[in-house]
Amino acid sequence: MDGILALYKERGMTSNDAVFKCRKIFKTRKVGHSGTLDPNVDGVLPICIGKATKVVNYMMDSGKIYQGQIILGFATETEDLDGAVVDKKELTRPFTSEEIDQAMSALTGDLIQIPPMYSAIKVNGRRLYDYARKGEEVKRPKRKIHVDYFKQTRASIFDDQKMQQTIFFEVGCGRGTYVRTLAVDLGKKLGFPAVMSDLTRLKSGGFTIGQAVSLEQLTKLDEKQLAAKLQPIEHALTEFPRHNLTPKQWEFVKNGGFLSPQYLNNGQVTSKVVLFYNGKVRALYKYNQEKHRYQPEQMIDLS
């Protein structure tokens, strides 16, 4: 069974837990996810099954949409509610909607982000959370990210007992963005410690949360019904033009051969092209400008 599943990951499980359970349900070890969701975050987690694991990276490159909540007035070591409080500062008044919008707008476009210590990024062969749990300091690598938009979804709420303010947001962002860190950075823009208090992924890999199916639902399906829940492998490659191979071209491609651009895409040269034969996606080829030819980037199905 090959294809891409829009899984609804519930809170309380890791993304790797979800992969493990899908291996049992689909009876294959070839299962991978396209973008980690923290245990305390729910929402869409695209899962690649069988030969679709070869296109995981292209799924990860797609944009994501989240909705959640940010509390101004305190910060934690994990940047969410799972960690110990490390800073507190009471608000003297609630921020206006305009002030919040202005700070959010400053956090859009191309940004440089420093990932949180409690994250799975590796530094010197070790996960950052390993350093954090042992109280060890390590220099974190700066990352380029892109935020399409960052906006409020409804009026914020001010707690005049705790002197804290809750902001409700939606964000559209690219690969590698830590929304927890975006929440903390919003607080810095406003001059107060902040924490991400709730998060749901609404869209990922071209799937919306309305399309996602839970693990519990999957366990009730037979093999035919499970197969019907999978999108074809080419779902991950829709941004690239496609070309149907002739039998002769297919013989070249099966052996990793090069292809001349004059025979693909009606002679139009593009950076990449998805190759099909007999109705199946077979490979993704990239254009080599120096040698004026298409060559393999990812072989997918040579059967």
* pLDDT cut 90: percent of the chain above it: 79
Query: 3-class DSSP state for residue 295?
Result: strand
pLDDT on residue 185: 96
pLDDT tens for residues 176-195? 899 999 999 999 999 999 99
Task: Give the pairing of strands 85-88 and 109-113.
Answer: unpaired
Matching fold, domains 3-61+205-235 and 64-202: yes
Task: Report the distance separating Cα 282 and Cα 7, nearest Å.
Answer: 25
pLDDT tens for residues 260-299? 988 887 778 899 999 999 999 999 999 999 999 999 999 9
| CATH 2.30.130.10 given to domain 240-299 | yes
Concerning whether 198 is annotated as a catalytic residue, the answer is no
Under 8 Å between Cβ of 41 and 57: no
Under 8 Å between Cβ of 263 and 271: no
Q: Which one, of 94, 98, 37, lies nearest residue 68 by Cα?
A: 37
pLDDT on residue 21: 96
For 64-202, give the CATH class: alpha beta
Question: Rounded to 5 degrees, what are φ and ψ at 79?
Answer: 75, 5
CATH of 3-61+205-235, one of 3.40.50.300, 3.40.605.10, 3.30.2350.10, 3.90.1150.10: 3.30.2350.10
pLDDT on residue 101: 98
CB neighbours of 168 closer than 8 A, spacing ≥ 6? 67, 68, 69, 152, 153, 154, 155, 156
pLDDT tens for residues 248-259? 999 999 999 999
* pLDDT cut 70: percent of the chain above it: 99
Report in angstroms the alpha-carbon separations of 227 from 1, 2, 28, 205, 237.
7, 8, 13, 19, 20
Q: Which of 2, 17, 38, 130 is catalytic?
A: 38
Local confidence band at 71 (pLDDT 50, 70, 90 cut-offs): very high
pLDDT tens for residues 93-152? 999 999 999 999 999 999 998 877 677 677 777 777 787 787 777 787 788 999 999 999
Report in angstroms the alpha-carbon separations of 237 from 33, 193, 248.
16, 41, 24
Structure tokens at 119: 């994250």
CB neighbours of 78 closer than 8 A, spacing ≥ 6? 116, 118, 180
Query: Where are the domains positioned within the chain?
Result: 3-61+205-235, 64-202, 240-299
